[in-house]
Amino acid sequence: MPRIDRATEDDWPLLRAVRVAALTDVPRAFASTLERQHSMTEAQWRAWLGEVAFFLATEDGEPVGVAGGAPDPAGLELVSVWVAARHRGGPLAAELVGGVVEHARASGHAAVTAWVGGWNDRAARFYARLGFAPTGRTDLNPVYRAQCEVELSLPLSDDLGHGRPVGDQDGDRVR
Ligand X SMILES: CC(C)(COP(=O)(O)OP(=O)(O)OC[C@H]1O[C@@H](n2cnc3c(N)ncnc32)[C@H](O)[C@@H]1OP(=O)(O)O)[C@@H](O)C(=O)NCCC(=O)NCCS
Contact 67, 22 (CB under 8 A): no
How many residues contact ligand X, by CB under 6 A? 16
Separation of alpha carbons 84 and 68, rounded Å = 16
The answer to whether 16 contacts ligand X (rule: CB under 6 A) is: no
Residue placing its CB nearer to ligand X in the complex, 49 or 150: 150
Phi-psi region of 80 (alpha: psi -120 to 50; beta: other; left: phi over 0): left
- Residue of 13, 16, 18 whose CA lies nearest to 2: 18
Contact between 88 and ligand X by CB under 6 A: the answer reads yes
| Binding to ligand X, residues 104-123 (CB under 6 A) | 116, 120-123
CB-facing half-sphere around the CA of 7: CA atoms within 13 A: 32
Q: How far is the CB of 134 from ligand X (least distance, A)?
A: 13
CB of 167 to ligand X, least distance (A): 38
Pair 78, 55: CB distance under 8 Å:
no
- Of 48 and 82, the one with the shorter C-beta distance to ligand X is 82
* Cβ-proximal residue to ligand X, closest one: 93
* Interface residue list for ligand X (CB under 6 A): 26, 29, 81-83, 88-89, 93, 116, 120-123, 125-126, 129
